[in-house]
Amino acid sequence: MHVAIPLYPRFTALDVVGPYTVLAFAPGWTVTLVAAQAGPVTDDQGSLTLTATASYADVGRPDLIVVPGGPGTLEAMSDEALLAWIRQTHEHTRWTTSVCSGSLLLGAAGLLEGLEATSHWAVLDMLRQAGAEPVSERVVTQGKIVTAAGVSAGIDMALTLLGQATDVATAQAVQLAIEYDPQPPFHAGSPKSAPEGTSERALKLIV
Amino acid sequence: MHVAIPLYPRFTALDVVGPYTVLAFAPGWTVTLVAAQAGPVTDDQGSLTLTATASYADVGRPDLIVVPGGPGTLEAMSDEALLAWIRQTHEHTRWTTSVCSGSLLLGAAGLLEGLEATSHWAVLDMLRQAGAEPVSERVVTQGKIVTAAGVSAGIDMALTLLGQATDVATAQAVQLAIEYDPQPPFHAGSPKSAPEGTSERALKLIV
């Protein structure tokens, strides 16, 4: 399986590297970080730079794409080169997926019309602008379009897809290889569980 | 707070980017990726390159260091420049921490003698060579030395430290910002919970 993850300015690093690590550990899978041009792309904090090793023109026909989110998503929604790549690649993918606000890019590419989808809780309602029905779930599957909730949800989505593409034993082996036995020290990971006032604080942190 | 994360060849990407994302989201915190020389460093899969923006000589005195792991750890255990930087930086840190096999580097730097520590389950017993007492826990705190289990455990460690360095409300806001409400699709994240035979499969995936 060939996976491609597009980078654009001000992406959120964990949106990319969560699914990357899960899928790149899978035996025989390759993951390519891709952008308009090959080269460095810097994240939302301005302090982490990943290298795209292929341009959209050179990446071929990936089987699976994972579109990350981040504060840069809003600007990327008018990046016609990115949207055209998503649209064209989607024609041949087994899965077209997103993490966090990356689903707004699937929407801007015209892929979510009439479908249920999820996103980061802070922008979930914006999915309606693309004709999608926002759903507050960790991972939402609609045929070959799969959307995940905010940032860390990409890890859960990637393990789910890996189990479907290979077999449960392989996905479990990857889960054990990355020792994904989460033990968050607080119960604050979703707007439903977080203490009152946490959402307001969190919104201020989202650059 | 100034956080520094050293990169070395064949690090595991999520070991770096889990704690990075948590700590870089914290208001007023900065995270620097550092290496022997500033420039690109490539991960264990050969398909993800991060840019170190400072050399060991130029990074100053960080308050917190997070030493990642990966298949490259074994070679890095004889990287005297890295070990000397860990040792010198440790004299002034508030916390000196590791993720995954990164604890073997704290050990090689001579910091774990007589302490309890954890690591990736596959190399946990190697901690004895550094005079440490291996403990199979997600996060192990011994004064200002904090070690985390494999790969994804760095997220839990970073949230724990953030809560101690700031306050619980700030750490919860970061947890909500990254929507860290984990829902792994399988129960296979630790050798204790994984089905029989999973460890053998997982070991084959660890390059």
Q: Is B176 within 8 Å of A190 (Cβ atoms)?
A: yes
Whose structure tokens read 């994804």?
Answer: B152
Give the Cα separation of A26 and A52 in Å (integer): 20
Residue type, A27: P
Range of the domain at A18: 2-179
- What stretches in chain B show pLDDT beneath 50? none
For residues B32 and B55, what is the distance between their CA atoms, to the nearest angstrom?
10
Could you tell me if residue B117 is inside a domain? yes
pTM of the model: 0.97
Residues of A in contact with B188 (CB under 8 A): 171-173, 175-176
Residues of B in contact with A51 (CB under 8 A): 40, 48-51
What residues does A30 pair with on adjacent strands?
Answer: A2
Distance CA A156, CA A150 (A): 11
Q: Is there a domain that residue A90 lies in?
A: yes
**B50 touches A: beta carbon within 8 Å:** yes
Preferred mutation among A51, A123, A181 to probe B, highest tally of B CBs within 10 A:
A181
Separation of alpha carbons A126 and A105, rounded Å: 11
**Cβ contact B151:A179 at 8 Å:** yes
Query: Is B175 labeled as catalytic in the residue annotation?
Result: no
Is B204 within the bounds of a domain? no
Identify the CATH number of the domain in which residue A91 sits. 3.40.50.880
A82: helix, coil or strand?
Answer: helix
In a domain, residue A188? The reply is: no
Position B39 in a domain: yes
Tell me which DSSP letter residue B47 carries.
S
Question: What are A32-57's pLDDT values in tens digits?
Answer: 999 999 999 999 999 999 999 999 99
CA distance A2 to A156: 19
Smallest CA–CA distance, residue B165 to chain A, in Å, is 14
Q: Is residue A201 domain-resident?
A: no
For residue B24, give the DSSP letter: H
pLDDT of residue B207: 65
Choose the closest CB to A172 out of B12, B25, B186.
B186
pLDDT in tens, A54-105: 999 999 999 999 999 999 999 999 999 999 999 999 999 999 999 999 999 9
Residue of A nearest to B160 (CA): A185
- Domain membership of residue A189 (yes or no) is no
Domain count, chain B: 1
In-domain check, residue A133: yes
